[in-house]
Structure 1
Amino acid sequence: MKKKLMGKRLMAAGLSVGLVAGMLCGCGAKSTGGNEQAKSEEVSDALKFDSVSDVKFPLAEKVELTCFVYATTTGGGTYQDNYVTDWIEEKTNVHLNFVYDVDGDDAKTKLNLIMTDPDTIPDMFLATNWTKSELQSYGQQGLLIPLDDYLKDCPNWNRLNEESPLRKGDLVMSDGKIYTYGDDNECFHTHFQNRMYIYKPWVEKLNDGKIPQTTDEMYEFLKKVKTEDPNGNGKADEIPMTGMIGGWATDPTVWMVNSFVECNNPLSNTNPTVAAGLVVNDGKIEYSVMKDEYKEAFRFMSKLYKEGLLDNQTFTQDNNQFQATLSNEDHLVAMYSAGGPQNDEFWKNQDGEWQDWEVMEPVEGPGGVRFAARNADNYFGSCIGSVSVNCKYPEIAVALMDFMASEEASLVQANGPEGIGWDYTTEGSSLSGGTPTYKTYDIPDDFDWVGAGFKDYTGKKVTYVSDAMIRCSTSKFRGDMQVEDPSHDGEYFLQAAAEKYSKFDPGEDTLVPNLVFEGQDAQTISELTLTIGDYVNQATVQFITGDMDVDKDWETYISKLESMGVDNYVSLYQKYYDKYMENIEK
């Protein structure tokens, strides 16, 4: 009944929402006069503002802002013909005129052409997929407006920076300027996504219900799995620990290394890791994969591999083989690494075999080290929210972006109309275990998926795609979402898992941020990241499998890294990290 009612309400909303007509006050570059003509046009007194804080929505007069967005529109629909665009116009009296909103190579080519001709540059950019170096280059060429002074008066911007301490630093370029508003889509459980799962029935059977807390205890438990036939089929077919390379946090080496030294260097990961293997120690950049503690991690993992306690298929199997091993009729696996439970019923929020598994805390190594691998959030995103030098109303453009970062606008961008895609509520439990402030609804059965959202009966897209959203989705905001049934909610389960791991957080100050490298340094970092990173990952597997000997080949490994330019690699990171710290402390 609820889905049918929502479908009817969405249709009604589609009937009531249309493009607002009227006179549009242009503020973008004109094809006949270009940039100079746009700037010379008279600005109405009603639209003159001394600061962003003076801008009050809805505006007294309608304003048109030309806008470029480079983001997927998979499944049909456009940003122009979209409920969110109409809703923004209704609330602000700003009409967004999207000059281009197609993804792929065509959009990249179009954007490059736009930026070579100042007369064609739109007022603002919602998403461009520029790198930080590209963004800074356009800013230094005078094609984009530095937003620093404007953002000081933005209430949502300041609130987000308070709730997300690393946010502002991710958006300040190496020249000390800010050229993009940025996104805020924190996901608490991905902060600690490298998790290990342990099979509880075997813990009860072999270990008196005690989950291992140290590397020694884990080793002894894995030996019992190997030798005591816990599945009772009379075969020595048990696999004490397994994983795979290429899945979501399914690489077990990351989890194990952090019992010896802080290091987030996945051999492969669907979520690319910034500065893989690098950490900050008292302001100094260090490469963990060259430390003696990393050598000891190799020694431990090699021991597990040689004794058959770490699955010898870990570094070669694909996802199908991984899943087949985990779902074998005769249960085979005691421990596996992954971001989430590897079970269909879990993702469907149904009862299932996943309930026999427990998220295992990091174990303490022989040196007393016990870290959870930590991942940083990306606030830069697809380069969200920039204003061009052509814009005659920069205060309005920046105020619009700050409006989009409000809680209500964030919910509308992601879920569509209130009452259909989402509602405010204080009933039940929230994701973080407290009192919720809002709830979202499943997509109605009678509507088609369109990218990240759905469309109404007219075919109009109802939400924006995440790549083009300006959100306030901090960990706190996301945690305030209602969870209907915590015992059968995957997001709630992962949140609780991350909270368990957060006790072993090495600290945000140890994370190397996504730095902005300039000129030849950017090229050098790009090249060394590939060559050095590939060699480290290759050597890691070889040390574990025994193709390289931990004692005999360690110095050769270090010498190889030095010959590849690792000292220059680390020193460049240090140079730009120092710049980063100077900029955020200003």
Structure 2
Amino acid sequence: MKKRWMKWLALGLMGSLTLTACSNGGGSKEANAQLTEEEKNALYTEVGTYPITNEPITMTMFQRIVPNIIDYSTNEFTKYMEEKTNITWKFESATSDAVTEKINLLMAGGTPPDVFIFDTPDEAKFGVKEGLLLPIEDLIEENMPNYKKAMEEVPAIKGRTTATDGHIYNIATVNQCYHCTYAQKMWVNTMWLEKMGMDVPTTTEEFKEVCRKFLEINPKGVAIAGSNDGWFQDPTPFLMNAFILDPGYDTDPKLVLNPEGNVDVIVNKDEYKEGLKFLNELYEMGAIYEGTFTQNSGQLRNLMAQEGEPVLFVPAGTISDVIDSVSNNETYRHYKTIAPIEGASGLRQATYYKHAGIGATSFAITKDCKYPEAALRWIDYMFTLEGTLTSQFGFEGEDWKYAEEGQVGLDGRPATYEILTAYSSEPQNKDWQDVGVSYRTADMRMGAATEEGRDVGSPEGIEELLLQETKNNYEPYPQPEGNYDILPAIKLTAEESTEIQTISVELEKYAEEMRVAFISGTKDIDAEWDDYIKGLEKLQLSKYIEVYNNAYTRQYK
């Protein structure tokens, strides 16, 4: 069966001359001087038409390396867009764990690319303060009819993308995904539960007992596995929620909104300490796989694919990220989500990402880019239904098609499109999947055609599966009123960003190292907790919280 992804309609290249942009030297203002109006008129076609330029041009792009995309340069979606637009991209990339460091190096004395996609430089520092990113609000008005329409349909885009100086440096991506609002999921292998004769655990004690029983009958098995870079593949947040709200994907020291309505962190709270002690109990009994905090998502997938289905519990935003639904469908069908587990205090909650849906820093242009209009017109295609479906799923007629009359979408209303190829997260070179920019509103996502009685265990049933699991096991467990809550997006000023730049790096490193040390037992949590708290304050945790709280107050109070 074909993998889920893109198709390519060949459009003839126009002309033979290749114009080279920032890819030939990057930071040189002279080499990358903006075009005159006369040159623009000669180069560009009418806005909203393709190709974008009358002659081929080349630009550079920074893009994240992910395990399921083989090579951006030879990827079919890349080639399709090259033929469609007359724009060739040369790529500079970094793996997920090195993205931030690589971006900072490129911006601070390196040779920045023309554009960054998916991961972009710190807006306050490199845009507002240093002027290394290009303000694009006027260029959006002149070159992006599809994005302008999206901003009208989703008004929050403008507020989310407007920087503290009033300029716009980033194009947003929209993904109003229901199951993503409860992405912090835990999956259990139901085959093993049946063999053990045990029910799905509902409390921390039951969870511990299921792990203990599993290891008794399967000493070489893995009770809990995870990764350090996959989408919600760290087991800590799900388990910590039985003690205190864990925001999950937020980096340490885990910013939240406290019961008093102020910005705070959880990593210095007594409830967090109790959660770490529970995790340490699991680790000491051999339940948590020792590689969980060091292995990447690719290594987790390899572990999950081993013979005998060795893993009992695995955290993941979607099970299809850790088990291929096509090549390993039997194992894939064995995994179902478990609802949040209840702690000793009676707390039982699912993290609800109510502010999710708009990625506000998804496509930025550096100041010396010679062809910013071309870059924005290129990304504007992604804000059409065709562009989003092609970049995400493949080619019309092969991987997707427009819905026919009578077809019904996921929400019971008339469908707008149908996906024809089954999802697979195996390495492929056809499309960009989820590491580009797309326009997926709630209506768009629910407009995918389905059929009555679709098998949710099939590769084609992934959306139905995630909807079902989310509705049944996570939505019924809201965060308690008057408790900790998820923060909305906070924009720091350039001064604020500079003030905590070093603090945030050191705090994140320290809190993460101590979290793993307390869980693994290399640090005694009872004996060394007070010193740990002192360490946080020594690294200016109070200043860190103060800066974020002031920014939150400015924006939301």
TM-score (norm 1): 0.67
Change (3 A) 1:240 1:412: closer
2:174 is paired with a residue of what secondary structure? coil
Q: Is residue 2:183 matched to residue 1:200?
A: no
The alpha-carbon deviation at position 84 of structure 1 amounts to 3.3
Encode CA deviations 1:157-185: one digit per residue, 9 max, x unaligned.
464675585x4444221223223332235
Aligned to 1:554: 529
1:183 is paired with a residue of what secondary structure? strand
CA contact (8 A) 1:76 1:450 kept: no
Q: Distance in 2 between matches of 1:548 and 1:155?
A: 54
Alignment of 1:210-225 (within 5 A): 210-222=199-211, 224-225=213-214
Aligned to 1:540: 515
User: 359, 364, 368: which one pairs with 2:346?
Assistant: 368
Q: Distance in 2 between matches of 1:549 and 1:103?
A: 43
User: 247, 266, 283: which one pairs with 1:288?
Assistant: 266
Q: Is residue 2:48 matched to residue 1:74?
A: no
Q: Is residue 2:481 matched to residue 1:513?
A: no
Change (3 A) 1:356 1:407: closer
Q: Distance in 2 between matches of 1:64 and 1:174?
A: 38
What amino acid is aligned across from residue 496 of structure 1 in structure 2? Q
1:439 is paired with a residue of what secondary structure? strand
Encode CA deviations 1:537-581: one digit per residue, 9 max, x unaligned.
222233334444444432222111111111112122223334444
TM-score (norm 2): 0.70
Q: Distance in 1 between matches of 2:387 and 2:289?
A: 50
Q: Is residue 2:255 matched to residue 1:278?
A: yes
What amino acid is aligned across from residue 277 of structure 1 in structure 2? K
The alpha-carbon deviation at position 75 of structure 1 amounts to 5.9
The alpha-carbon deviation at position 262 of structure 1 amounts to 1.0
Aligned to 1:132: 123
Aligned to 1:473: 440
Change (3 A) 1:115 1:560: closer
Q: Is residue 2:150 matched to residue 1:150?
A: no
Moved more, 243-252 or 125-134: 125-134
Give the number of aligned pairs: 514
Aligned to 1:457: none
Q: Distance in 1 between matches of 2:181 and 2:542?
A: 29
Q: Is residue 2:469 matched to residue 1:497?
A: yes
Aligned to 2:458: 488
Aligned to 1:103: 92
Two-structure CA RMSD over aligned residues (Å): 5.5
Q: Distance in 2 between matches of 1:556 and 1:126?
A: 41
Q: Distance in 1 between matches of 2:31 and 2:289?
A: 68
Q: Distance in 1 between matches of 2:304 and 2:80?
A: 46
Q: Distance in 1 between matches of 2:107 and 2:208?
A: 55
Q: Distance in 2 between matches of 1:238 and 1:450?
A: 32
CA contact (8 A) 2:237 2:247 kept: yes
Aligned to 2:238: 255
User: 169, 193, 212: which one pairs with 1:179?
Assistant: 169
1:103 is paired with a residue of what secondary structure? strand
Alignment of 1:26-41 (within 5 A): 38-39=36-37
Encode CA deviations 1:293-328: one digit per residue, 9 max, x unaligned.
11221233334444x273473657857699668856
The alpha-carbon deviation at position 532 of structure 1 amounts to 1.7
Q: Distance in 2 between matches of 1:180 and 1:158?
A: 16
1:554 is paired with a residue of what secondary structure? helix
What amino acid is aligned across from residue 293 of structure 1 in structure 2? E
CA contact (8 A) 2:171 2:362 kept: no
The alpha-carbon deviation at position 128 of structure 1 amounts to 9.0
Q: Distance in 1 between matches of 2:317 and 2:32?
A: 54
Q: Distance in 1 between matches of 2:87 and 2:555?
A: 36
Q: Distance in 2 between matches of 1:527 and 1:348?
A: 45
Unaligned 5+ residue runs, structure 1? 23-29, 48-54, 89-95, 266-271, 444-448, 454-463
What amino acid is aligned across from residue 184 of structure 1 in structure 2? V
What amino acid is aligned across from residue 165 of structure 2 in structure 1? D
Change (3 A) 1:164 1:358: farther
Encode CA deviations 1:439-471: one digit per residue, 9 max, x unaligned.
34449xxxxx98443xxxxxxxxxx7865x553
User: 356, 370, 382: which one pairs with 2:334?
Assistant: 356
1:70 is paired with a residue of what secondary structure? strand
CA contact (8 A) 1:279 1:287 kept: yes
Q: Distance in 2 between matches of 1:103 and 1:111?
A: 13
What amino acid is aligned across from residue 458 of structure 2 in structure 1? H
What amino acid is aligned across from residue 545 of structure 2 in structure 1? V
Q: Distance in 2 between matches of 1:238 and 1:142?
A: 52
CA contact (8 A) 2:242 2:342 kept: yes
Aligned to 1:241: 223
Q: Distance in 2 between matches of 1:299 and 1:466?
A: 36
Encode CA deviations 1:499-537: one digit per residue, 9 max, x unaligned.
433444559972353644525x43553433332222222
Moved more, 75-84 or 398-407: 75-84
Unaligned 5+ residue runs, structure 2? 17-28, 64-69, 95-101
Encode CA deviations 1:233-270: one digit per residue, 9 max, x unaligned.
xxx738683224436344322111011111135xxxxx
CA contact (8 A) 1:136 1:179 kept: yes
